[in-house]
Amino acid sequence: MKIVIGGAGVVGLQIARQLIAEKKDIVLIEIDGDQARYAGERLDCMVINGAVNNISVLRQAGLDNADYFIAVTGSDEINMISCAMVAQHFPTLYKVARIRNIEYSESIYQHGGFMGVDWVVTPEIETAQAVIRSIEHGATSDVMVFQHSDVQIRSFTIDAESTLVERTLEEAGSLIPIPFLVVVILRGDTYIIPSGDTRVEKGDVLYVVTTRRGLDHLFDALGKHRRELRRIILVGGGRVAVEILSHLYAGNHGTVFDSQPPGRQPARRRDPDVKVIERDKAKSRQIADLFPKAVVINADIGDDELFEEEHLDLADVIVATTEDQELNIVTAVYAKSRGIPRAIVLVGKANYIKIAANLGIDASVSLKNATVDSVLRFIRGRSSVSTVYSIFDGTVEVIELPVNEHCKAAGKRIRDLPLPKNSLVVAVIRNGEHLIPRGDLEVHAADQVIAIARSTDIDRIQRLFTVPA
C-alpha cells in the first residue's frame, strides 16, 4: 500500500511513523525546507520539499500509483485545494483532509465529498468527543470505547497507598472480585504486555479492560468512586471548549450524569452548571452569545483571587483546554489541591500524559492522538477495522475488528494463534456478550475481537483475523 502525506508537522510525522512501522510505502511532502530535512533524517521514507498544492510535486510523489492521499498541513484551505487537485488528476485515490474550521468540515459532510474529500478529520471535534467520553464515565480515567459492545479500556495510576503495590496481577485478581484484564502497563519510558506473575510497582499506569459496569466496580474497589459531574469548569474558550459546550447543551447528554443499567432509557436531566474561564474578552463575548446558559468569566485562571471570588472550589470537575499544555497541567493540579475532585487536561506531548497521571490528574486527552487515530481509523476501516486507538506515542495500538469466516484464526483456540510477540487479544465479543479471552477460548467466525499490539505488528493482526487463509 502506498500513501502520500501532505504536511510533515507533528501529526504528519506521527501518521507516517506508524504506517512506516507497518511496512507501508510512505511519501511525505513538506514545503518548509528545515522541516523536510528534519523528517528525512528521522523517517525511513521519501520526503519531498515542495508545495502540496502543486500538481508537479504531486506527480513527483507518485500519486499515479498510490492508494491514499492525506493532507494534514497547517492550512485548511491548502488541504482542501490539494484534495480537489488530487480528485481531478488522480480520481481513484482515497483523500483525507485535516480541517480545523468547523464550518468547512460541516459543509463537506453536508455535500458528501465536497472538493473531492472522502474523509474529514476535525481535531477539535475528535478531542471534544474524548473529553465528553471521560465526563460521561465520571472522569475517573482516560476512556477507550468500542463500537460493538460495552467493553472499555481505562487507565489508572498506581500510587504508594494502592493495595496493588508489589502484588502480582494474579494476586490483584484475587483481591478484586470482578473479572478484568490488565492489557498493558506503562512503566517509566517503556511499556509491558504483562502476564499473571507481573508485579505491580508504584507509579505504574495500568490499562484495564472489562465492561463499563465492571470498570465502575473496579474503580470503586480502588477507592476512586464514580460521582455525578454537574458543576463543570472549562478553562479556555477555544474550539475544543466550544465543541464540548455544544455537546453539553445540545439536549443529547442524558447519560453524562447518569449510571442507568444498559437498555434503560435515562431520565431527562436539567442542563449542567458550566463556568467558562477565558482571558480574551472577544472570545468571552462570543461564547456568552453562543451559550447563554453557561456562566462566562473573562479572567486569567492564574489570578490568585479567582477561585474564592467565583467559588470555583465547588465544582465537580475542571477541564483545562487552553493551547498551553503546561498551563493546563498546572491549573488541574492546583484545582485538585483546592478540593475539586476530578480534572481533565488537554495535552500535546506524549510524555506529558505520563506526567499528568503521576501528578494525580484523572484524564489526559491528546489533540495529536485524536487526529492520528481518526486518520488511521479511516485507512484501517477499508479492511474492516472499526476502532483504532494509539497509545505510547503511537508505538502501540488497540484495534477492534471482525473475524472472517475463512481466516486463519477462525475455529482456533487463542493459545494456538500465531500472534506476534508482545501482542494480546484483550476481548472477544460474541452475540453481544463479552468473553474473557483465556487461552482455551475458541475464536468463531463473526466474533468481534479487540487486540493490542505494537504498531509494527498491526498488519499481521489484521491479516490473521480478516484475510481468508
Other CB atoms closer than 10 Å to residue 357's CB: what's the count?
A: 22
User: Among 167, 158, 159, which Cα is nearest to 196's?
Assistant: 167
Domain co-membership, 240 together with 131: yes
Give residue 216's pLDDT: 81
Q: What phi, psi does 384 have (nearest 5°)?
A: 85, -5
Asked whether residue 70 is domain-assigned, the answer is yes
**Mean pLDDT over all residues of the chain?**
88
Domain co-membership, 133 together with 84: no
d(CA 211, CA 135): 17
Mean pLDDT over 215-227 rounds to 77
pTM: 0.84
Asked whether residue 267 is domain-assigned, the answer is yes
The answer to whether 318 touches 331, Cβ cutoff 8 Å, is: yes
Res 357 pLDDT > 90: no
Asked whether residue 357 is domain-assigned, the answer is yes
The answer to whether 25 touches 2, Cβ cutoff 8 Å, is: yes
Res 227 pLDDT > 60: yes
Q: Which three cell numbers stand for residue 5?
A: 502525506
Q: Name the residue with cell 458550566.
A: 274
The answer to whether 251 touches 139, Cβ cutoff 8 Å, is: no
Give residue 255's pLDDT: 34
Give residue-wise pLDDT tens across range 13-68. 999 999 999 899 999 999 999 999 999 999 999 999 999 999 999 999 999 999 99
Lowest-confidence pick of 37-41, 136-140, 340-344, 409-413: 136-140
Half-sphere exposure in the Cβ direction for 28 (13 Å, CA):
33
Other CB atoms closer than 10 Å to residue 15's CB: what's the count?
A: 28
Q: Which three cell numbers stand for residue 236?
A: 479556555
Domain co-membership, 60 together with 132: no
Give residue 233's pLDDT: 97
Give the bridge partners for 192, in sequence order.
185
Please tell me which residue, 253 or 196, carries the higher pLDDT value: 196
Asked whether residue 22 is domain-assigned, the answer is yes
Please calculate the CA angle 394-147-153 and round it to the nearest 5 degrees.
50
Q: Which three cell numbers stand for residue 149?
A: 459492545
Domain co-membership, 105 together with 131: no
Domain boundary among 57, 87, 121: 121
Mean pLDDT over 196-213 rounds to 89
Domain boundary among 70, 91, 121: 121
Res 111 pLDDT > 70: no
Q: Name the residue with cell 494463534.
A: 417
Three-class secondary structure of residue 245 per DSSP: helix
3-state helix, strand, coil in the chain (%, to 5): 35, 25, 40
In which element (H, E) is residue 144 found? strand 143-145
Domain co-membership, 66 together with 132: no
Res 113 pLDDT > 70: no
Res 268 pLDDT > 80: no
Give residue 310's pLDDT: 93
Res 264 pLDDT > 60: no
Distances 194 to 65, 158, 167, 413, 425 between C-alpha atoms, Å: 42, 15, 13, 20, 12
User: Among 350, 385, 351, which Cα is nearest to 367's?
Assistant: 350
Asked whether residue 31 is domain-assigned, the answer is yes
Q: Name the residue with cell 478553562.
A: 235
pLDDT interval class at 309 (50, 70, 90):
very high
Res 267 pLDDT > 60: no
Percent share of the chain, pLDDT over 90: 59
Measured between its terminal Cα atoms, the distance across the chain in Å is 20
Domain boundary among 121, 150, 165: 121
Domain co-membership, 235 together with 353: yes
Q: Read off the CATH number of the domain in which 48 is found.
A: 3.40.50.720
Give residue-wise pLDDT tens across range 332-347. 999 999 999 999 999 9
Mean pLDDT over 363-380 rounds to 90
- Find all residues with CB under 8 Å of 143, minimum gap 6, and list them: 130, 133, 134, 136, 137, 152, 153, 154, 363
Domain co-membership, 300 together with 353: yes
Give residue 256's pLDDT: 36
Give residue 387's pLDDT: 87
Asked whether residue 86 is domain-assigned, the answer is yes
Would you call 289 exposed, middle or buried from its count of C-beta atoms within 10 A (0-12, 13-18, 19+)?
A: exposed
Asked whether residue 252 is domain-assigned, the answer is yes
Res 261 pLDDT > 80: no
Q: Which three cell numbers stand for residue 28?
A: 511525505
Domains identified in the chain, total number: 2
Domain co-membership, 97 together with 132: no
- Find all residues with CB under 8 Å of 466, minimum gap 6, and list them: 383, 384, 401, 402, 403, 404, 407
Domain co-membership, 79 together with 47: yes
Give residue 105's pLDDT: 67
Give residue-wise pLDDT tens across range 420-436. 998 999 999 998 888 87
Distances 142 to 207, 284, 291, 301 between C-alpha atoms, Å: 9, 29, 27, 24
Domain co-membership, 133 together with 50: no
Domain co-membership, 92 together with 239: no
Distances 379 to 384, 452, 464 between C-alpha atoms, Å: 10, 18, 18
Domain co-membership, 79 together with 132: no
Asked whether residue 278 is domain-assigned, the answer is yes
Give residue 381's pLDDT: 78
Give residue 257's pLDDT: 35
d(CA 304, CA 284): 20
Lowest-confidence pick of 86-90, 101-105, 140-144, 280-284: 101-105
d(CA 321, CA 315): 16
Lowest-confidence pick of 154-163, 244-253, 388-397, 432-441: 244-253
User: Is the four-CA dihedral 33, 38, 39, 43 of positive or negative sign?
Assistant: positive
- Find all residues with CB under 8 Å of 40, minimum gap 6, and list them: 47
DSSP string, 47-114: EEES-TT-HHHHHHTTGGG-SEEEE-SS-HHHHHHHHHHHHHH-TTSEEEEE---HHHHHHHHHHTSG
Task: Give me the domain span that covers residue 342.
Answer: 127-137+226-361
